[in-house]
Amino acid sequence: MSKRKCKLCKAPFTGRSDKIFCSAQCKADYHNKLKAATLKATFNTDKILHRNRSILLEVMGKNLQQKKVDRDSLAKKNFRFEYMT
């Protein structure tokens, strides 16, 4: 048994060294929050990917013959290169 600090509410508690929450409630709350945060992150990424696709369609639509789209014109439209799929 050792003194621990709850990962969620920071309350001190004693328990096995692998325990990181003071109670089952804190553990459940923590995982619920984590899940909500992950969902939010996924939602934002989807939004960016969708926006990227719209930008590409817009740019490609204007230049049907042109296979290469220049990077600057994408950047100007806030294209997020790190989210390419």
Contacting positions for Zn ion (CB under 5 A): 6, 8-9, 11, 22, 26
What are the residues whose beta carbons fall under 8 Å from the beta carbon of 66, sequence distance 6 or more?
60
Pairing of strands 2-5, 12-15: antiparallel
Select 8 or 55, whichever has its Cβ closest to Zn ion.
Answer: 8
Q: Contact at 8 Å (CB) between 58 and 74? A: no
Q: Which is nearer to Zn ion, 12 or 61 (CB)?
A: 12
Closest approach, Cβ 22 to Zn ion, in A, equals 4
Q: Please, what is the minimum distance in Å from the beta carbon of residue 25 to Zn ion? A: 7
Least CB distance to Zn ion at residue 41 (A): 24
Report whether 69 contacts 59 (CB < 8 A): yes
